[in-house]
């Protein structure tokens, strides 16, 4: 895999994960998120927790890829500075 393919992968993957989490969040709002506990429909409780389970998995993955994308962008900017070793160490620990 060459550098251009890796760059596109770091752009497309966070975008897809973020779009998925947005869709799941809208579904959870439709199920009753934000309502008072007494106004929450009892028939939606099980489906609500199922959707929230997958939402939490996708949001963690999305944040991880977004942080990696920002880190690699900063690595390009910090080509010959004192922060380059720090950025490389942070990116190697997050993978």
Model confidence at 95: pLDDT above 60? no
Q: What angle do CA 85, 8, 63 make, to 5 degrees?
A: 65
pTM of the complete model: 0.74
Count of Cβ atoms closer than 10 Å to residue 6 Cβ: 11
Q: Name which residue leads in pLDDT, 10 or 2.
A: 10
For 57-86, how does the pLDDT look when each residue is reduced to its tens digit (9 = 90+)?
A: 999 999 988 888 888 888 888 878 888 888
Q: How many angstroms from the chain centroid is the CA of residue 53?
A: 14
User: Is the distance from CB of 91 to CB of 75 less than 8 angstroms?
Assistant: yes
């Amino acid at each position: 895999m060459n550098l251009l393919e890796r760059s596109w992968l770091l752009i497309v993957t966070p975008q897809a994960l973020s779009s998925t989490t947005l869709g799941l969040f809208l579904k959870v709002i439709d199920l009753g998120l934000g309502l008072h506990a007494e106004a929450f429909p009892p028939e939606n409780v099980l489906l609500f927790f199922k959707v929230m389970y997958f939402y939490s998995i996708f949001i963690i993955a999305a944040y991880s890829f977004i942080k990696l994308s920002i880190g690699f962008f900063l690595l390009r900017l910090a080509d010959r500075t004192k922060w380059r070793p720090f950025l490389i160490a942070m990116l190697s620990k997050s993978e």
